[in-house]
Structure 1
Amino acid sequence: MRQSPEASPLIPSPAATALPPPPALPANAALFLDVDGCLLPFAPRPDAVDVPPALVARLTALQRALGGALALVSGRNLATLDALFAPGAFTAAGLHGVERRRAGDTGGTGVVPAALPKVRDAGLALIATHPGALLEDKGAAIALHWRMTPEPHKDATAAALRAFAEHALTQLPGYQLQPGDHVIELRPHHADKGSAILAFLEEPPFAGRVPVFAGDDLTDEPGFSAVNAHGGISVLVGDRAGSAARHRLPDTAAVHRWLGVPERTPETPA
């Protein structure tokens, strides 16, 4: 598997707001979509996100129109993606590319370090002392969140969770720290979203198509670089500065409009 480029072919943009919106999806697109912060707004808890049926239906229609060349590329694991987007069935990369599943296949993470359960238990003990903190068990990865921590304590909680993760990393060979939006994650380092996208682009039905990737977080930067290197369309969601993305959409609602998801009305079921 080829590794994603270390740097974007373009100098990262100094201001996200200066980036133009993306063009309409090419008919021959290979479409890669981040989930949290891109397809779905952030929720107080990772298990509290709302996946509108209209979004699942539109992604299914796009998958069919693109000859199957659509994949979710997420920090969540494959099992969680399947549960969230049921009854849709999508090609996907989970855990930031550690898990990768081609259409009709299954994907796994391999053997996890023996110390991981002890690290998880120690993390659970730590968050119990920090109101609003949350440990997300992803199987082969552990994410420590502080989004729900009350504001007066947020900085202290973030510092404590980061320090814990840095110490835990010494017990987990082959792992790395993955910072994100109000989260620090311990995950295997042998893949990222860029390498997952590049691997998909070498296989049908993605090979030979124009790669398109939309994402919002630092974890999406390798994906932007991979798509840029292949002359594709990279789309930052939000207003984070310094991204390698060449296009921007302001929020998840704009992503839905770009993809053609019908807008929810008061009469539309949630």
Structure 2
Amino acid sequence: MSDGPPFLPPPPPLSERWALFLDVDGTLVPFADDPEQVYVSQRLVERLGALSAAMDGALALVSGRRVEMLDRLFSPLRLASAGLHGLQRRRAGEALGVPPDAPAALEQVRLEALDLVSAWPGALVEDKGEAMALHWRARPEAGDALRAYAARAVERLPGYQLQPGDMVVELRPHRADKGTAIAAFLAEAPFRGRQPVFVGDDLTDEYGFRAVNAQQGMGVLVGDRGGSAARYRLPDIAAVHAWLGAGA
């Protein structure tokens, strides 16, 4: 019998004394073939708003999406947020800083990738500014070709790394990750001095799990992926919503 992720315990009831960090795709909302088509319910928006107020603002979204897109998805909330896996970070109520320009080589890679995915209708190139993602959720058979292209392309991008995910691979600068973003929040009010809890599902969330573990916090894995540093588990998005709802 396996003692893998399905046998991790559920997290304890949510506490307003925590610093709560939430991944978005695969954690709060289902994945979509096109990231632009994700839907966030009004009920979830209201729930997160109530939790943030109860926690004195110590709730942040930590996502691979840009912060600007998070604001659109969760409007009218403007929660503390880290976007692009930590390359962007904004405290609640603050203006978002201007991101650095993407290198010229990334634009050439993007154009080549657009040409490549034209042979795989349904596969997508997501332009994130200084980062880029290749998606094949709608065309799983394109995965090998897109992963191989990304591995070649990153060699032409000094300071960049590959970030694999669930039917996606990203090319992004390696100067930050979800763990460094969480650590930066924890050094500031209102997060400072609270026990950190991070909820996420994907490989990119492992940085966050390790960051909260290092500060006597709790990582909560969503799903049944193996090999995680998380110490607690919720089986799916519906369970995450129920857990958050009980806290709200």
| Shift, 1:108, TM fit | 4.2
2:70, 2:176 → 1: CA distance? 18
Within a 5 Å distance, the mapping from 1:80-119 to structure 2 comes to 80-105=69-94, 106-119=96-109
TM-score normalised by length of structure 2: 0.95
Deviation at 1:119, TM superposition (A): 1.1
Q: Distance in 1 between matches of 2:130 and 2:111?
A: 14
| Alignment partner, residue 19 of structure 2 | 30
Q: Which residue among 98, 121, 130 is the counterpart of 1:131?
A: 121
Q: What's 2:230 paired with?
A: 245
Is the CA contact 2:13–2:246 (under 8 Å) kept in the aligned structure 1? no
Counterparts of 2:166 and 2:98 in 1: how far apart (Å)? 25
Kept in 2: contact 1:14–1:241 (CA 8 A): no
1:63 aligned to 2:48?
Answer: no
User: Counterpart in 2 of 1:5?
Assistant: none
Contact 2:101 2:129 in 1 (8 A): no
CA distance in 2, matches of 1:92, 1:159: 32
**CA distance in structure 2 between the aligned counterparts of 1:185 and 1:75, rounded to whole angstroms:** 9
Which structure carries more relative contact order (alpha carbon 8 Å, separation 6+)? 1
C-alpha distance in structure 1 between counterparts of 2:245 and 2:91, whole Å? 25
**Residue 145 (structure 2) aligned to one of 160, 166, 170:** 160
In 2: Cα distance, 1:182 partner to 1:159 partner: 10
**Structure 1 residue runs without a partner (length 5+):** 1-12, 263-270
**Aligned-partner Cα distance in 2 for 1:193–1:136:** 19
Matching of residue 169 in structure 1 with residue 154 in structure 2: yes
SS at match of 2:126: strand
Aligned pair count reads: 245
Aligned 8 A contact 1:21 1:247 in 2: yes
Task: Please tell me the residue identity of whatever aligns with 1:115.
Answer: A
Q: Secondary structure at the match of 2:104?
A: coil
Residues 55 and 261 in structure 1, CA contact (< 8 A), matched pair in contact too: no
One-letter amino acid of the counterpart of residue 172, structure 1: L
2:248 is the counterpart of 1:258: no
Matches of 1:175 and 1:104, distance apart in 2: 30
CA distance in 2, matches of 1:108, 1:214: 28
Calculate percent identity across the aligned residue pairs.
62
In 2, Cα distance between equivalents of 1:176 and 1:108: 22
The residue type equivalent to 1:133 in the other structure is: A
1:144 counterpart letter in structure 2:
L
**1:14 Cα offset (Å):** 5.6
Looking at structure 1, the residues matched to 130 and 67 of structure 2 have their Cα atoms a distance apart, in angstroms, of 11
Tell me the distance in 1 between the aligned counterparts of 2:90 and 2:123.
31
1:147 paired to 2:137: yes
Whole-angstrom CA distance in 2 between matches of 1:75 and 1:107: 17
List runs of 5+ in structure 2 lacking aligned partners.
Answer: none
Report Cα offsets for 1:3-31 as digits up to 9, x if no partner: xxxxxxxxxx9611010000011221101
Cα displacement (A) at 1:261: 7.3
Secondary structure of 2:171 counterpart: strand
- The 1:74–1:261 alpha-carbon spacing in structure 2 relative to 1, beyond 3 Å, is farther
The 1-side partners of 2:23 and 2:110 are apart by 26
Q: Is 1:220 matched with 2:209?
A: no
Q: Name which of 170, 180, 183 aligns with 1:195.
A: 180
